[in-house]
Amino acid sequence: MLRQLMLLLIGAAMVMSQRRLALPDPRSCANRVRHATYRDARGVQHTYFFSWEHGPTRSLEVDWLDARNICRRHCMDAVSMETPQENEFIKQRIARAKIGPTTQRNSGDWSHTGGFGQAQPDNREAAQGNDESCLSILNNFYNDGIKWHDVACHHLKPFVCEDSDELLNFVRSRNPGIRL
Protein backbone atom coordinates (compact mmCIF):
# COMPACT_ATOMS: atom_id res chain seq x y z
CA MET A 1 0.00 0.00 0.00
CA LEU A 2 2.80 2.36 0.92
CA ARG A 3 4.62 1.45 -2.26
CA GLN A 4 1.51 2.11 -4.31
CA LEU A 5 1.05 5.40 -2.56
CA MET A 6 4.63 6.39 -3.27
CA LEU A 7 4.28 5.50 -6.90
CA LEU A 8 1.13 7.56 -7.04
CA LEU A 9 2.88 10.46 -5.35
CA ILE A 10 5.84 10.22 -7.69
CA GLY A 11 3.41 10.05 -10.60
CA ALA A 12 1.62 13.14 -9.38
CA ALA A 13 4.91 14.96 -8.88
CA MET A 14 5.99 14.04 -12.40
CA VAL A 15 2.74 15.27 -13.90
CA MET A 16 3.05 18.51 -11.98
CA SER A 17 6.69 19.01 -12.78
CA GLN A 18 5.90 18.58 -16.46
CA ARG A 19 3.72 21.66 -16.30
CA ARG A 20 6.46 23.89 -14.95
CA LEU A 21 9.21 25.70 -16.79
CA ALA A 22 12.27 23.47 -17.07
CA LEU A 23 15.81 24.44 -16.09
CA PRO A 24 18.57 24.15 -18.68
CA ASP A 25 20.79 21.06 -18.72
CA PRO A 26 24.44 22.06 -19.29
CA ARG A 27 25.31 19.00 -21.40
CA SER A 28 22.16 19.40 -23.53
CA CYS A 29 23.00 23.08 -23.96
CA ALA A 30 26.54 22.34 -25.12
CA ASN A 31 25.34 19.65 -27.54
CA ARG A 32 22.21 21.39 -28.76
CA VAL A 33 21.29 20.91 -32.41
CA ARG A 34 21.66 24.15 -34.34
CA HIS A 35 20.02 24.29 -37.76
CA ALA A 36 20.63 27.94 -38.51
CA THR A 37 22.27 31.10 -37.25
CA TYR A 38 20.77 34.56 -37.58
CA ARG A 39 22.29 37.89 -36.64
CA ASP A 40 19.87 40.77 -36.26
CA ALA A 41 20.39 44.45 -36.98
CA ARG A 42 21.57 45.01 -33.41
CA GLY A 43 24.33 42.47 -33.96
CA VAL A 44 22.73 39.90 -31.68
CA GLN A 45 23.43 36.42 -33.03
CA HIS A 46 21.28 33.44 -32.08
CA THR A 47 21.09 29.87 -33.30
CA TYR A 48 17.78 28.16 -34.06
CA PHE A 49 16.30 24.68 -33.95
CA PHE A 50 13.44 23.56 -36.21
CA SER A 51 11.68 20.47 -34.85
CA TRP A 52 10.75 19.10 -38.28
CA GLU A 53 14.35 19.20 -39.50
CA HIS A 54 15.63 16.92 -36.73
CA GLY A 55 15.07 13.15 -37.05
CA PRO A 56 13.92 12.39 -33.49
CA THR A 57 11.47 15.31 -33.44
CA ARG A 58 10.41 15.21 -37.10
CA SER A 59 6.87 14.07 -36.30
CA LEU A 60 6.68 15.56 -32.82
CA GLU A 61 3.88 18.00 -32.10
CA VAL A 62 3.66 19.55 -28.65
CA ASP A 63 1.80 22.30 -26.85
CA TRP A 64 3.20 25.66 -25.85
CA LEU A 65 4.67 24.67 -22.49
CA ASP A 66 6.21 21.41 -23.70
CA ALA A 67 7.78 23.24 -26.63
CA ARG A 68 9.27 25.84 -24.30
CA ASN A 69 10.61 23.18 -21.98
CA ILE A 70 12.24 21.14 -24.74
CA CYS A 71 13.89 24.37 -25.90
CA ARG A 72 14.81 25.48 -22.40
CA ARG A 73 16.62 22.26 -21.53
CA HIS A 74 18.90 23.18 -24.44
CA CYS A 75 19.43 26.80 -23.32
CA MET A 76 16.92 27.96 -25.91
CA ASP A 77 13.30 29.07 -25.74
CA ALA A 78 10.35 29.15 -28.11
CA VAL A 79 11.30 31.50 -30.92
CA SER A 80 10.53 35.18 -30.48
CA MET A 81 10.22 37.29 -33.61
CA GLU A 82 11.58 40.68 -32.61
CA THR A 83 12.08 42.25 -36.01
CA PRO A 84 10.37 41.93 -39.41
CA GLN A 85 13.69 40.60 -40.74
CA GLU A 86 13.82 37.83 -38.17
CA ASN A 87 10.20 37.00 -38.98
CA GLU A 88 11.10 36.72 -42.68
CA PHE A 89 14.06 34.51 -41.84
CA ILE A 90 11.77 32.14 -39.92
CA LYS A 91 9.10 32.19 -42.60
CA GLN A 92 11.58 31.24 -45.28
CA ARG A 93 12.72 28.35 -43.15
CA ILE A 94 9.20 27.08 -42.57
CA ALA A 95 8.74 26.22 -46.22
CA ARG A 96 6.05 23.54 -45.99
CA ALA A 97 5.74 23.25 -42.24
CA LYS A 98 3.63 25.08 -39.74
CA ILE A 99 5.17 26.00 -36.46
CA GLY A 100 4.01 26.29 -32.97
CA PRO A 101 3.87 28.39 -29.91
CA THR A 102 5.98 31.38 -29.14
CA THR A 103 6.37 33.60 -26.14
CA GLN A 104 5.78 37.07 -27.51
CA ARG A 105 3.14 39.01 -29.26
CA ASN A 106 4.42 41.72 -31.51
CA SER A 107 2.82 44.09 -33.90
CA GLY A 108 3.45 41.96 -36.87
CA ASP A 109 2.53 39.59 -39.56
CA TRP A 110 -1.07 38.75 -38.66
CA SER A 111 -3.29 36.95 -41.13
CA HIS A 112 -6.25 38.83 -42.57
CA THR A 113 -8.42 35.75 -42.01
CA GLY A 114 -8.99 32.68 -39.84
CA GLY A 115 -11.56 30.11 -38.80
CA PHE A 116 -14.33 32.71 -38.69
CA GLY A 117 -13.02 34.60 -41.69
CA GLN A 118 -11.93 37.44 -39.41
CA ALA A 119 -8.58 39.19 -39.23
CA GLN A 120 -6.19 37.87 -36.59
CA PRO A 121 -5.89 38.07 -33.65
CA ASP A 122 -9.54 37.14 -33.14
CA ASN A 123 -9.45 35.06 -29.94
CA ARG A 124 -11.84 32.70 -31.70
CA GLU A 125 -11.69 29.86 -29.16
CA ALA A 126 -12.49 32.11 -26.20
CA ALA A 127 -16.16 31.14 -26.54
CA GLN A 128 -15.13 27.55 -25.73
CA GLY A 129 -13.15 28.70 -22.70
CA ASN A 130 -9.75 28.60 -24.42
CA ASP A 131 -8.13 31.99 -24.70
CA GLU A 132 -6.03 32.21 -27.82
CA SER A 133 -2.96 33.50 -26.01
CA CYS A 134 -0.33 31.65 -28.07
CA LEU A 135 1.12 32.76 -31.37
CA SER A 136 1.30 30.22 -34.16
CA ILE A 137 2.69 30.68 -37.65
CA LEU A 138 0.38 28.72 -39.92
CA ASN A 139 1.50 27.71 -43.36
CA ASN A 140 -1.30 28.69 -45.68
CA PHE A 141 -3.83 26.90 -43.46
CA TYR A 142 -6.56 29.38 -44.41
CA ASN A 143 -5.19 29.94 -47.89
CA ASP A 144 -3.51 33.04 -46.47
CA GLY A 145 0.20 32.34 -46.94
CA ILE A 146 2.60 31.92 -44.02
CA LYS A 147 0.97 34.13 -41.41
CA TRP A 148 0.57 34.73 -37.70
CA HIS A 149 -2.52 33.46 -35.88
CA ASP A 150 -3.48 33.66 -32.24
CA VAL A 151 -4.34 30.11 -31.13
CA ALA A 152 -5.15 28.37 -27.89
CA CYS A 153 -2.01 27.10 -26.18
CA HIS A 154 -3.17 23.47 -25.96
CA HIS A 155 -2.85 22.95 -29.71
CA LEU A 156 -0.08 20.55 -30.68
CA LYS A 157 2.38 21.86 -33.26
CA PRO A 158 5.91 21.50 -34.52
CA PHE A 159 8.09 24.17 -32.93
CA VAL A 160 11.09 26.46 -33.32
CA CYS A 161 13.66 27.10 -30.61
CA GLU A 162 15.92 30.15 -30.43
CA ASP A 163 18.97 30.65 -28.20
CA SER A 164 18.09 32.18 -24.85
CA ASP A 165 20.80 34.60 -23.69
CA GLU A 166 19.34 34.36 -20.20
CA LEU A 167 19.66 30.56 -20.03
CA LEU A 168 23.03 30.47 -21.79
CA ASN A 169 24.42 33.00 -19.31
CA PHE A 170 22.85 31.09 -16.42
CA VAL A 171 24.62 27.87 -17.44
CA ARG A 172 27.90 29.70 -18.20
CA SER A 173 27.90 31.28 -14.77
CA ARG A 174 27.62 27.86 -13.11
CA ASN A 175 29.94 25.92 -15.40
CA PRO A 176 33.16 27.90 -15.88
CA GLY A 177 34.87 27.11 -19.16
CA ILE A 178 31.87 25.38 -20.73
CA ARG A 179 31.63 25.84 -24.50
CA LEU A 180 28.09 26.71 -25.52
Supply the minimum distance, in Å, between the C-beta of residue 163 and Ca ion.
9
Supply the minimum distance, in Å, between the C-beta of residue 119 and Ca ion.
9
Interacting residues toward Ca ion by CB under 5 A: 80, 82, 114, 122, 124, 132, 149-150
Supply the minimum distance, in Å, between the C-beta of residue 12 and Ca ion.
34
Supply the minimum distance, in Å, between the C-beta of residue 48 and Ca ion.
9
Q: Which is nearer to Ca ion, 11 or 40 (CB)?
A: 40
Q: Report the C-alpha gap between 91 and 89 in whole angstroms.
A: 6
Supply the minimum distance, in Å, between the C-beta of residue 30 and Ca ion.
21
In one-letter notation, the amino acid at residue 118 is Q
For residue 136, which of 75, 34, 67 has the smallest C-alpha distance? 67
Q: Which is nearer to Ca ion, 63 or 82 (CB)?
A: 82
